[in-house]
Amino acid sequence: MPHNKRPQLVVLISGSGSNLQAFIDASENGSLDADIAAVISNKAGVMGLERADNAGIANEVIDHKQFADRESFDAELADRIESYKPDLVILAGFMRILTPEIVDRFAGRIMNIHPSLLPKYPGLHTHKRAIEAGDTTAGVTVHFVTSELDGGPAIIQAEVPILPGDDEDTLASRVLVQEHQIYPLAAQWFCEGKLTLKDGTPELNGEPLPISGTKFCSEKL
């Protein structure tokens, strides 16, 4: 990649795009040395597309309902992503399970964020499940994407306490603050060449990361 060209990101969304906004802000304030080449949504009319418009970012809708099956949707999606020549693909609230074909096509350069301390609580309703289990902490994980749902190698986690009286919404709001910090940070490490995926293991500054990824301490940043 030419030294004068910033890394290019493609962000996939399905909804409000709050993490997308965190990437837009980080790209504009310089904490993320990358440009968002495009935003792709599988749903029309969502707030995330408006955020992209407001930031002058190319965006488009690929409606999964217009395809006969998951494989044909993923094939079109992969081609559209590839057309922007991204260095990194960011799943930001993209509510589709990707087939192995698309995951393999972008292996080592596709990330997701999940609102739990993986491997705990893959899938949906993570905050409700953590509260009901009596956990004292919850959090969020940024990970590389593999064919296993929410099972890719962890890059970074941030923890928040579960407070007395917490419900799903109050816990989710505190976790979201952490999401908006650690996701652009993980992308920045990747864009700087500090973060790589080698033989299925994430390495940061040449050192393998622990199974749960590195821990984020907001007071240090």
pLDDT in tens, the chain (221 residues): 445 589 999 999 999 999 999 999 999 999 999 999 999 999 999 999 999 999 999 999 999 999 999 999 999 999 999 999 999 999 999 999 999 989 999 999 999 999 999 999 999 999 999 999 999 999 999 999 998 888 899 999 999 999 999 999 999 999 999 999 999 999 999 999 999 999 999 999 999 999 999 999 764 33
- Residue-wise burial string across 45-69, b where 16 or more C-beta atoms lie within 10 A, e elsewhere: ebebbebbeebebebeebebeebee
CA atoms within 13 A on the CB side of 61: 14
Q: Is 143 annotated as catalytic?
A: no
Please, which contacts does 196-201 make with residues 24 or more away whose CB atoms are closer than 8 Å? 196/108, 197/107, 197/108, 197/144, 197/153, 200/146, 200/153, 201/153
Is CATH 3.40.50.170 what the domain over 1-106 is classified as, yes or no? yes
pTM, rounded to two decimals = 0.94
The answer to whether 1-106 and 113-221 have equal CATH topology is yes
Q: Which residues pair with 89 in a beta bridge?
A: 10, 110
Catalytic-role residue among 3, 114, 143, 180? 114
Amino acid at 189: W
113-221 placed in CATH 3.40.50.170: yes
**Domain positions in the chain:** 1-106, 113-221
pLDDT number for residue 144: 98
